[in-house]
Amino acid sequence: MSEEVSKNLSETLFANHKQAKETSALTQYMPSSNSYLDEKREQEGYKWYRNLRRMQWAWQGLDPIEIEAVLAKIAASPHSRTQDQWLDTVMGYHSGNWTYEWTKLGMLHQKRSGTLNGEEAADELFNASLCFSIAGYPHLKNDNLATQAQVLASNAYTEATKKTKYIVKRLEIPYQKKRIVAHLHLTSTEKPQPVVMVSAGLDSLQTDLWTLFRDHFAKRNIAMLTVDMPSIGHNTHWNLTEDTSVLHQAVLNELYSIPWVDHHRVGLIGFRFGGNAMVRLSFMEQEKVKACVSLGAPIHDVLSSPEKLKKMPKMYLDVLASRLGKSAVDIHSLSSQLMAWSLKVQGILSSRKTRVPILAMSLEGDPVSPYSDNQLVALFSDYGKAKKISAKTITQGYEQSLDLAIKWLEDELIR
C-alpha cells in the first residue's frame, strides 16, 4: 500500500469519528459498580487508564525513545479528557488522543518502509502494524477508533508479509459457518516443519507476535501459527466462554490437512489468557500436542477470588466485560462469573494428568499468575515444570522466560 493510499485510508476511516466516545468511557457499569470504580480510581491514584507495556512493546520491536515520545505527547495534551486524572483519555480524534498519536507513529514507520528494501522495509511495516495495533489497545469491542486502527494494523501486516524473505500464509479455517483466520509463518515450504501455535492475551492481536517468529522460531526452522483468542481481532464473532480453547482446538484439528507443517510435532505457547487456553488444550487434545508453555496465565487463583478480581485496574475489568459480550456490567456478578474460567473449578486440573509436558511460568510477584497457579499446572502434567522468573529488570525477565520457553518447545519438538 503506497503511503498516499494509506494516508487517505486513515483519513477516511477516522473522518466520522472526531467525536467518537473515548475508550475508558465505553463500558457501561451499573450505578453501584460506578461508585465503586470512582472510589477505586481516587484511592489508587493511577495516572493512566491503560496499562503501559513499555517493555513488551520494545521487545516487540519498537524503539523505547519513540514509545516515550508518543506517551509524552499524550500526557502533555491540553485537550479535554474523560477523566482528568488519566492522561490517556483525551476525547476526540486529534492530537493527544491515544489512537491518534499511535496511528501517527504507525504512519511514520510506513513512510520509512517506502525508502527501504527487503527485510528492512518489512521490519518497518511490521513496526507500523504494531503501532496501529497499540493505537487500538486494549481493543474493546464497541470502540470505533480501535476497530479502524485494527484495519490499518491488518493491512500493514499483509504488506509486510509480501516484503519479507520469510513465508507467511493466511489460513481460513471453517468453524460454525464462519471462518477462523490464522497466520502461518515459515522459513521454507520444502518439507513440513514442526509448528508452534501461539496465542496472546485478551488485549493484543495475533499480528503483534512477529518478533517471536523472526528472532526465535525462524532460527530453529520451527513454523509459528498465530490465532487470536475468541472475542478479539479476527475472532470477534465469538464471545469468550469458559471453553477458552475452543477455536484453537478447531485450528489444531485442521493441521493434518496443511501440507507445510508436521502435525505430529505441534507445540503450544500462550501469553496471559492465551496461556489458560493452551493449558486447557493440552488436556483436551493430548494425542495431538507434544509440548506446551504458558506465560503469566490466569489459571485458578485470581479467577476463583472475586475480591482479587475486583482489585484489577479498570482497563482489565473493561476488557473482561467486552470479551464476554456484556452491555451493562455489575462488577460483583462479573467477578463471581469468572469462577467458571478457573481450570481447577472446571475439573481439568483436579483428577487426571495430561501426557503433554507443560512449562508454566510467570514473573515473580505477578498478581494474575501466582506461583501456586503454575505449580498446579505442573502437578497435573507429566514432566511438567513450574518456573518463577525472578528478574532484576523486567526486560531481562522477558528475554529469560522466552529463551526458556523456546528451548522447552525445541527439545520436545525436534528431538
pLDDT at 94 over 80: yes
Average pLDDT over residues 225-241: 94
- Contact between 409 and 293 under an 8 Å Cβ cutoff? The reply is yes
Where among 164, 186, 213 does a domain terminate?
164
Where among 136, 164, 192 does a domain terminate?
164
For residue 87, give its domain range.
1-27+47-164
pLDDT digits (tens, 9 = 90+) for 154-207: 999 999 999 999 999 999 999 999 999 999 999 999 999 999 999 999 999 999
Which pLDDT score, from 0 to 100, does residue 394 have?
Answer: 67
SS3 string, the chain, reads: CCHHHHHHHHHHHHHCCCCCCCHHHCCEECHHHHHHHHHHHHHHCCCCCCCCCHHHHHHCCCCHHHHHHHHHHHHHCCCCECCCCCCCCECCCCCCCHHHHHHHHHHHHHHHHCCCCHHHHHHHHHHHHHHHHHHHCCCCCCCHHHHHHHHHHHHHHHHHHHHCCCEEEEEEEEECCEEEEEEEEECCCCCCEEEEEEECCCCCCHHHHHHHHHHHHHHHCCEEEEECCCCCHHHCCCCCCCCCCHHHHHHHHHHHHCCCEEEEEEEEEEECHHHHHHHHHHHHCCCCCCEEEEECCCCCCCCCCHHHHHCCCHHHHHHHHHHCCCCEECHHHHHHHHHHHCCCCCCCCCCCCECCCEEEEEECCCCCCCHHHHHHHHHCECCCEEEEECCCCHHHHHHHHHHHHHHHHHHHHHC
Q: Is residue 333 part of a domain?
A: no
Do 291 and 386 lie in one domain? The reply is yes
Q: How far is C-alpha 223 from the geometric centre of its chain's CA atoms? A: 19
pLDDT at 18 over 60: no
Do 160 and 172 lie in one domain? The reply is no
pLDDT digits (tens, 9 = 90+) for 325-339: 888 899 999 999 999
Q: Is residue 199 part of a domain?
A: yes
Average pLDDT over residues 138-166: 96
Do 96 and 146 lie in one domain? The reply is yes
In angstroms, the Cα distances linking 49 to 81, 83, 88, 126, 369 are: 11, 9, 6, 26, 21
**C-alpha dihedral (315, 320, 322, 328), degrees to nearest 10:** -90
Do 295 and 223 lie in one domain? The reply is yes
pLDDT at 5 over 80: no
In angstroms, the Cα distances linking 172 to 157, 180, 247, 269, 277 are: 16, 6, 12, 20, 20
The mean predicted confidence, pLDDT, of the chain is 93
Indicate the angle between helix axes 64-76 and 98-113, nearest 10 degrees: 140
Which pLDDT score, from 0 to 100, does residue 396 have?
Answer: 77
Do 86 and 214 lie in one domain? The reply is no
Q: Is residue 336 part of a domain?
A: no
Which pLDDT score, from 0 to 100, does residue 351 have?
Answer: 84
CATH number at residue 388: 3.40.50.1820
Where among 164, 180, 196 does a domain terminate?
164
Which pLDDT score, from 0 to 100, does residue 46 have?
Answer: 94
Q: Is residue 37 part of a domain?
A: no
Do 173 and 141 lie in one domain? The reply is no
Do 149 and 179 lie in one domain? The reply is no
Do 252 and 386 lie in one domain? The reply is yes
Do 133 and 3 lie in one domain? The reply is yes
Sign of CA dihedral 95, 100, 102, 106: negative
Do 246 and 143 lie in one domain? The reply is no
Which pLDDT score, from 0 to 100, does residue 287 have?
Answer: 96
User: Total domain count for the chain?
Assistant: 2
Give the span between the Cα atoms of 309 and 140, in whole angstroms. Answer: 19
Q: Is residue 90 part of a domain?
A: yes
Q: Is residue 399 part of a domain?
A: yes
Quickly state the pLDDT bin for 269 (edges 50, 70, 90). very high
Do 160 and 171 lie in one domain? The reply is no
Q: Is residue 236 part of a domain?
A: yes
Do 266 and 146 lie in one domain? The reply is no
Which pLDDT score, from 0 to 100, does residue 399 have?
Answer: 81
Quickly state the pLDDT bin for 17 (edges 50, 70, 90). low
Q: What is the pTM of this model?
A: 0.93
Q: Is residue 42 part of a domain?
A: no
